[in-house]
Each structure stands twice: as structure tokens, then as C-alpha cells.
Amino acid sequence: MENLIIQLSKYIIIILFAIYTLYCFTVFRGRDKERQKRIYRKQQVLMYLIHLICHLLLFLNTQDTQLLIYYGLEVVFFATSAFVYRFVYRNLSRLVFNNMQMLLAISFIMLARLEPALAKRQLFMAAAGLLICLVVPFLIEKFRYIDRLGWLYAVLGLICLLSVFIPGVGIEKYGASNWIKLGPVTLQPSEFVKIIFVFFIAALLAKSTEFKEVAKITVLAAAYVLVLVLERDLGGAFIFFVTYMCVLYAATSQPMYTVAGVGAFSIVSVVAYQLFSHVRVRVQAFLDPWSDIDTGGYQVASSLFAIGTGGWFGMGLGKGLPMSIPVRESDFIFSAISEEMGGIFAVCMILVCLSCFIMFVNIAMKMRRTFYKLTALGLSVIYIFQVFLTIGGAIKFIPSTGVTLPLVSYGGSSVLSTVLLFSIIQGMYVLNQDEVRRNEER
């Protein structure tokens, strides 16, 4: 009977999530505002239903009453954040907010399946992030000259990145020295520096795109990438590089900058391959994980086994073997999702992430001030490229980079920075809407 319930429920979950995903791409068909509001409400209901069914399945499998307590706390978190955000972020993008909650719900579900204690910590960090982000619209509105602090952002970001080299503060994880420990708290500075980095390049490029100024900005941006390479955080370095090239092209419309950047990065990649042994291991594992499955290729091989075992419809929540996947709660959480929830569910999740990116770019295009436009674009690129690196590494499309899936993977720094990223874009969008309305009234 239990197996029958699990097998039926997995199809119900897939159908509900597919409907939610369909709404992401059909909500703006036509200009009926009331229809859009109805769809947003339906998305909320679908999210709560998926969340409920999955937690009931987990309880059925484990009989752990703590899961029910966590479920109640998560429902309170979703309801409270939805209620508060309507007042703080007036005229916000409801689709972006719904998607953020949906991705967090998937995170809570999978972490509760893998290790309930991680789900508890993830909930705490998400709540802390949303609480902090309640002041974002106020800061954006009050500090109207944030686009004049480009050099300050540049220096501040570099100082934060260099903090990992302070003796007794910086620590190493998974072969990269990009963490700091402050008492009981462990943080990854590069997660927050991503946002500072975008503010830095957007502010300076919005001010001037003359060759001399671009050269100065490029040197500073290259310093960020170099520091990350020295920290052996090559995934982070790749994200910073791609973000800078996209924002630079948007600001200047000069393809030669892109060609020069790609050439320089290609040279740096070859050098990194020669210098760092863990880079060679990951590249070799990407090329042929089966030849070295016991050591270097184990992560990629386990990921592919899990995805293949799940097929299109999955093994059912609680019926797979995700514990055999290395770093399953962070770098390879996509593989765990694919194994138990199925390929269709995983594809829908990718489409939800893509929906977020499309909305971010749409918001960027609507911005009037160049600084806001470039900032929203830069944050959009950071988000979608991180999604690409995580999923691409899990399916052996690209070498594994050790990057987490935004909002879904476990990680306090990652969740805080991603929630902040979403909130900054929302805050700029709200402020832009207010400015347009005031201009129309004038």
C-alpha cells in the first residue's frame, strides 16, 4: 500500500509542477490584470500542494515527527514572507517572487529527504535573508546616489575577497581556500562579493565607456578573477568573468572587447590547468569518468547513474539512493532531485530558473537609469550562469566547478546572497515603476 501511494504521488507531483511551470510562460498572454492575479494565486496553491504532498511522503517513509514540525515552520515562513512582501515591495514582480518561493520549497523538500537538520538550517538562513532584504527598497530609495560609489564598491569587494588569506580566518573546503570562519559562523565571501562586483562595474560603466576608463575597470575586474584563481575557486572566477563580459558588451556594444576577453580567459584556463592538480582531475573526470571511477571520476559517474536511474518519472520520494551521490546536498543536488523526482520534474525546475532569468532581463530592459539597467543585467547573468554551471557539471555537459544551484542547494552564504540578489532586482524594479508613475503624473 505504501509503495502504491508513493508511485501515484510522484505522478501527481509531476503534473502539479508541470502546471505551475506552464503558468510561468503563459501568465503574460494578454493584458488582463485580473487573469494574471488569478494565475499567481494558483501558482501559490500549487506550490503549497507540492510542498504538503512531499512532506507527507517523507513522514510516511520515516515516521519522524520532526518533519511535520519543520513543515509547519516552512508554511509559516512562506505565508509570512508573502504577506510582508506585498507591503514592502509594492508593485513587485509576483512571478519572480512565486518562483523564489517554489525553488526554496524544492530545497526544503530535498534537504529534508537527505538530512532533516540541513533543512532546518536552510529555513533559518532563508528567513534571515528575507528579513534582511526587507530594508532593500528603503536603502535603494534613500540612497539615490549609489551609482556614484563605483570605486568604493571596487575596493570593498577586493578587501572581502582577500579576507580569506588572513591567518586564522581563512579556511579550505573541497580544495578551494575561499571560506572564512568568524567564531561559530562560516561564510563564503565570494557569494556576497558577486553583488558588490556587479555594483562596481555597473556604476563605473554607466558613468563612462571611453577606452581609457574601460581599461581601468578591466584591470580591476581582472584583479577579482585573479584573486579567485589564487583561492582555487575557478567556478567563481568563471562567473565573475562572464558577468563582466556581458555587462561590458551591454554598456559599450563593442564586440572586440568580448573577443579580447575570451582570448585572455582561454590563456588563463590553460595556465590554471597546468598549475592546479584539482583542475586537471575535474577535466579528466569530465572527459572520461569511467576510466577513473574509483577516485577522480566517482562524483560525475555517481551523478550520471542517479539521473539515469530516475528516468523521466523518478524512483519516488524516499525510494532512491541519493546518499550514494557525493556532495549531494550542494554541488550535485540536481542529481538527487532527478533520481527521486524524475527527469520531467528536473526539466520543469530548469524552466522555472529560466523563467526567473527572462523576468530579470525584462526588468533590466524596463529600467530607465543606465546604472539600474546594467546592475539588473549583471545580477541576471550571475544567476543563470550559476544555474548552468551546476546543472552542466551534474550531467557531464561541462567539467564540475563546485558551484551550488541557487536557492535549491544547501548553503547559508549561497541562500543569503541569492535572496539578496532577487530582492535587489525587485527593489530596483519597484523604484523604477514609482519613477515612471510620477513622471506620468507630471
**Using one digit for the tens of pLDDT, what is the confidence trace for 53-71?**
999 988 888 888 888 888 9
Of 2-11, 101-110, 163-172, highest mean pLDDT: 101-110
Residue 194 is assigned to a structural domain of this protein: no
pLDDT level of residue 1 (50, 70, 90 thresholds):
low
Residue 186 has pLDDT above 80, yes or no: no
Residue 329 is assigned to a structural domain of this protein: yes
The residues, any chain, with a CB within 8 Å of residue 188's CB and separated by 6 or more, are 178, 179, 180, 411, 413, 414
Residue 319 has pLDDT above 70, yes or no: yes
Residue 289 is assigned to a structural domain of this protein: yes
Mind listing the pLDDT tens digit for each residue in 355-376? 999 999 988 888 888 888 899 9
Q: How far apart are CA 34 and CA 210, in angstroms?
A: 47
Residue 100's pLDDT is 94
Residue 402's pLDDT is 76
Structural domain boundaries, residue 115: 1-143+276-441
Q: Count of CB atoms within 10 A of residue 234's CB? A: 25
Residue 295's pLDDT is 65
Q: Count of CB atoms within 10 A of residue 176's CB? A: 20
Residue 234 is assigned to a structural domain of this protein: no
**How many structural domains compose the chain?**
1
Residue 375 is assigned to a structural domain of this protein: yes
Residue 203 has pLDDT above 80, yes or no: yes
Mind listing the pLDDT tens digit for each residue in 379-409? 999 999 999 999 988 888 888 777 889 999 9
Say which amino acid occupies 151. W
Report the percent of the chain where pLDDT is more than 70: 88
Residue 141 has pLDDT above 80, yes or no: no
Residue 374 is assigned to a structural domain of this protein: yes
Q: How far apart are CA 105 and CA 43, in angstroms?
A: 13
Average pLDDT score, the chain: 85
Give the mean model confidence (pLDDT) for residues 126-150.
78
pTM of the model: 0.92
Give the mean model confidence (pLDDT) for residues 236-261.
88
pLDDT level of residue 292 (50, 70, 90 thresholds):
low
pLDDT level of residue 246 (50, 70, 90 thresholds):
very high
